[in-house]
Amino acid sequence: MVKIRLTRLGDHKAPVYRIIVADSRSPRDGRFIEVLGTYDPHLEDSLKLDAEKAKEWIKNGAQPTDTVRSLLIDAGVIESQKRTQKTKVDKKKKAE
């Protein structure tokens, strides 16, 4: 499975992240397929992202991690989808 995720760069206690496309089996800072952008959590306008590439990868089935999903929603690349939590009652009704 292909994931869109963060890889860490930067100094000790001053992280900067790359937004990458990678195989889910490769390590966090290991091999990747493509770089989509960068994210610096210490700056206000810190997200630099190629939105067209990100949309194309998502269209082709790449799954963003939760953190990257929130960054993509903030950038307007994907729409927010409300998740509904299934309760035990819902599961019991489904079983019946």
Single out the residue of 24, 25, 17, 30 nearest to residue 65, CA to CA: 24
Give residue-wise pLDDT tens across range 52-81. Answer: 999 999 999 999 999 999 999 988 888 887
Domain residue spans of the chain: 2-75
**Band (45; pLDDT cuts 50, 70, 90):** confident
Q: Write down the mean pLDDT value for the chain.
A: 87
User: What is the number of other CB atoms lying within 10 angstroms of the CB of residue 78?
Assistant: 16
Q: What is the pTM of this model?
A: 0.77
Q: Is the pLDDT of residue 96 over 80?
A: no
Residue 4's region, left for phi above 0, alpha for psi from -120 to 50, else beta, is beta
**2-75: CATH topology:** S16 Ribosomal Protein; Chain: A; (3.30.1320)
| d(C-alpha 86, C-alpha 96), whole Å | 15
| Alpha-carbon distances of 90 from 72, 76, 83, 93, rounded to whole Å | 31, 32, 14, 5
Confidence (pLDDT) at 38:
95
